[in-house]
Chains A and B, each alone.
Chain A
Amino acid sequence: MDGLTFEARPGSILGFLGPNGAGKTTTLRIILGLAHPTSGGATIDGRPYRSLTDPTHSVGSVLDTSGFHPGRRGRDHLRIIARAAGIPVSRVDEVLRLVELSSAARTRAKAYSLGMRQRLNLAAALLGDPETLVLDEPANGLDPQGIRWLRDFLRSMAAQDRTILVSSHVLSEVSQTVDEVVVIHRGRLRAHATLAELTGQAEGVRTVRARSPQADRLAELLGPAATTAEPGLIRVSDTTPEKVGDLAAANGITLHELVAEGIHQSLEEVFLELTRDAEAESP
């Protein structure tokens, strides 16, 4: 890590991105007081992790997909953490239900699939009902339904004004979840921006596709930015769906489709661009 500074805010999900080996996990370990930086530090609500009086209630974290004694039952793993944090056993069963792992609660951890281990880790992170969540590659090993569930879950947590930091090496995995992203590579900050800003950075312009029975009228209102792609369909450059939608509404124009085009691809492009020399230099 070298001169890396960023901040995650309550009520938003911050994506922490970088290729494998970029230093994401090391950064998260420093935040959680598990590893020592040579200089600098990390604070949670203004305090270093190690000086938190009740860390389990302040921060919940998922660091990797291991971290269980293979011969210990999943529920016992959680009971051990709960006991140390002074959390009642009823909460253990509650979080097991929350991550949909109740049926495997009394199975020994060695029989858990990757996805089950990930859910058990998430359950452990939620035990203390923390204000902040720090999740390292939480989608690893989850099936598509699990990823969808995780996304909805994180959104609901953010809606409760919690602070969420989630790392990934795949931007597309989190692009539907996060509000902001921090991109690092080789331990250095490459970008800290909202998703919209990051997209703008790649294309310079953003294109919006609008389908309307009154497409011609809309194109007229939008001026030279709008081009007619086919009858009833126009493309508008350098704008946002919000602007086009507002304009249409203000003029009583019906919209059948309003899409920001190519965000997905362009985000991947930005990501590859930002981390390109890391790929080139790796053996």
Chain B
Amino acid sequence: MTRLIGSEFLKLRTTRTFWWLSLVAVALPVVITVITLATSHTTSNNDARALLSNIGIAGLFMIILGVVGAAGEYRHGTITSTFLVAPDRRRVLVAKGIAHGLGGLLTGAVTAALVVAISIPWLSAQGHAVGTLGVPTGDVVAIAAGSTVYAGLAAVFGVGFGSLVTNQVAAVVMVLVLVSVIDPVVAGLVNGYGKFSLQGLAMGLSGATDKNAGYELFAPVVAGLIYLGYTTVLLTAATLVVPQRDVG
């Protein structure tokens, strides 16, 4: 298993996809944070939490990373050599999930470190230390950790999705439409669904407030467990479908 995970890591490292997606995943939240800090005054607890929960944006790119990591193997035909080396396809799926999950965690951690390192001193300089805005140090750590975990889980979610929908272009489009259109629209329309939605769970995990979301959110740990549940369902479905598939 260690060998397979190592191999999946090499796959990530040896194309530009991972580096580019991770770069964007880190850069976008950082840029948004900087713009927010520079253009508006963060004066409330709500503002401060919203600012920090920008870290969670990295997760969207990690979903795409996972989708491309899984469906891309079918697109380029590398799935053939993958399955020739490791005929037990369920193990391949698990190894791919772990490698992408760790890749997502790493990207999430870098994003969290940068956003926190930029916002805290900046806010202090503006005279609003996060502590005075009602965000104690413990909460800052929780937000950073939750967002990081979200980025990791999101990558695994993407691996599950891309293993089921193996047409890479279709898979990326579908997951984008799901995450950025269908899911938030349904979350806004259906009462009580919001906190179970992908967006609601992501916001819950990255420490956003109910007010930021517009609906009630789960506590980070609960949101994380539910998201883990969704991811497990997707990966399990993949372990049932993928071994039956004819490849090539």
Residues of A bordering B, CB below 8 Å: 25, 29, 32-36, 49-52, 55-56, 61, 63-64, 66-73, 76-77, 79-81, 83-86, 124
CB-based contact B76/A81 at 8 Å: no
CB nearest neighbor in B for A25? B248
A residues less than 8 Å from B43 (CB atoms): none
Instruction: Given A34-B80, A124-B81, decide whether A49 and B244 contact each other with a Cβ distance below 8 A.
Output: no
How many Å lie between the Cα of A124 and that of B84 in the bound state? 11
Judging by beta carbons under 8 Å apart, are A70 and B14 in contact? no
Query: Which residue in chain A gives the minimum CB-CB distance to B87?
Result: A50
A-B CB contact pairs (8 Å), 7 listed: A34-B247, A55-B84, A56-B84, A67-B77, A73-B14, A77-B14, A83-B10
Contact, CB under 8 Å: A63 / B87: no
The closest CB in chain B to the CB of A50 belongs to B87
Contacts of A73 in B (CB 8 A): 14
Within 65-98 of B, Cβ neighbours of A (below 8 Å) are at 72, 76-78, 80-88
In whole Å, how far is A38's beta carbon from the nearest beta carbon of chain B?
11
Q: Which residue of A lies closest to B82 (CB)?
A: A84
**Cβ of A32 and Cβ of B72 under 8 Å apart?**
no
Q: Which chain A residues lie closer than 8 Å to B72 at the CB level? A: 69
Q: Bound complex: CA of A52 vs CA of B88, how far in Å? A: 10
B87 touches A49 (CB 8 A): yes
Contact among A49, A50, A69, A86 for B78, CB-based, below 8 A = A69
Q: Tell me if A34 and B7 are in contact (CB < 8 A).
A: no
Secondary structure dominating the interface of B: helix
Is A80 touching B246 in the complex (CB atoms < 8 A)? Answer: no
Give chain B nearest CB distance to A60 CB in angstroms: 9
| Interface: B187 (CB within 8 A) | no
Given contacts A29-B247, A34-B246, 8 further A-B contacts (CB under 8 A): A34-B80, A52-B87, A61-B84, A64-B77, A64-B248, A77-B81, A83-B7, A83-B10
Chain B contacts of A52 at CB under 8 A?
A: 87
Q: Shortest Cβ distance from A9 into chain B, in angstroms?
A: 22
Chain B residues near A80 (CB, 8 Å)? 7, 10-11, 14
Interface status of B211 (Cβ within 8 A of chain A): no
| B15 beta carbon closer than 8 Å to chain A | yes
A76 with B76: CB separation less than 8 A: no
Asked if B17 is at the interface of the complex by the 8 Å CB criterion, the answer is yes
Are B85 and A56 within 8 A (Cβ)?
yes
B84 and A50 form a contact (CB under 8 A): no
Closest CB in chain A relative to B99 CB, distance in Å: 11
A77 contacts which chain B residues (CB < 8 A)?
A: 14, 78, 81
Q: Count chain B CB atoms within 10 A of each CB in A52, A81, A84 and give the residue with the most.
A: A84
B10 x A71 contact (CB < 8 A) = no
A118 to chain B, nearest CB (A): 14
How near does chain A come to B76, taking the closest CB pair, in angstroms?
A: 5
- A33 lies within 8 A of B83 (CB): yes
Which residues on the B side are within 8 Å of A81 (C-beta)? Answer: 7, 81, 85
B4 at interface by CB-CB < 8 Å: yes
| B7 cross-chain contacts in A, Cβ below 8 A | 80-81, 83-84
Closest CB-CB distance, A25 to chain B, in whole Å?
8
Complex CA distance for A69 and B71, rounded to whole angstroms = 12
**Contact of A68 with B76 at beta-carbon distance under 8 Å, contacts A83-B10, A84-B3 already known:** yes
Residues of B within 8 A of A63 (CB): 80, 248
Closest approach, in angstroms, between the C-beta of B111 and any C-beta of chain A?
Answer: 24
Whole-angstrom distance between the Cβ of A119 and the nearest chain B Cβ: 15
CA distance A61 to B84 in the complex (A): 8
Distance from A63 Cβ to chain B, minimum over Cβ atoms (Å): 6
Task: Point out the residues of chain A lying under 8 angstroms from B11, CB to CB.
Answer: 80
Chain B neighbourhood of A49, CB < 8 A: 87
A55 touches B244 (CB 8 A): no
**B246, A29: Cβ atoms under 8 Å?**
yes
Complex Cα–Cα for A32 and B87 (A): 9
Chain A residue nearest to B9 in the complex (CB): A83
Asked whether B192 is an interface residue with its Cβ less than 8 Å from the other chain, the reply is no
- Decide yes or no whether B6 CB sits under 8 A from chain A: yes
B81 touches A36 (CB 8 A): no
Taking CB atoms, residues of chain B closer than 8 Å to A55 are 84-85, 87
Contact at B78–A35, with CB atoms within 8 Å? Answer: no
Complex CA gap A33/B17 in Å reads: 29
